[in-house]
Amino acid sequence: MRVMPKLKIYLDTSVYNRPFDDQTQIRIRLETESFLTIFEEIVKGKFFLVISSVLIYENSLNPFAERKEKITTYLSYGKRRQSLNYKIEKGE
């Protein structure tokens, strides 16, 4: 039996914050539902979450304690942490 590799996913800070945005806007609500669906698959182990030093840093600056705590929980599912390097810093 062939085992398929898990899909590696990296999500931007704005995606983690989407559930806290104005859900009365259809686009925002759909993006929130998409994020939550993807995150369910991460929790189930179907997808492999990659996080970064940048995400952790950006979340540390979040002025809203509830959001910061929830996003920290999301990030705790990260199986790999990408460190900042020259190529990333230069946008290559």
DSSP 31-54: HHHHHHHHHHHHHHTSEEEEEEHH
Structure tokens at 16: 């983690």
Q: Dump pLDDT digits (tens) for 55-71.
A: 999 999 999 999 999 99
pLDDT (average), residues 13-23: 96
CA 23, distance to chain mean position in Å, is: 19
Q: Dump pLDDT digits (tens) for 36-52.
A: 999 999 999 999 999 99
Among 59, 64, 62, CA closest to 12: 59
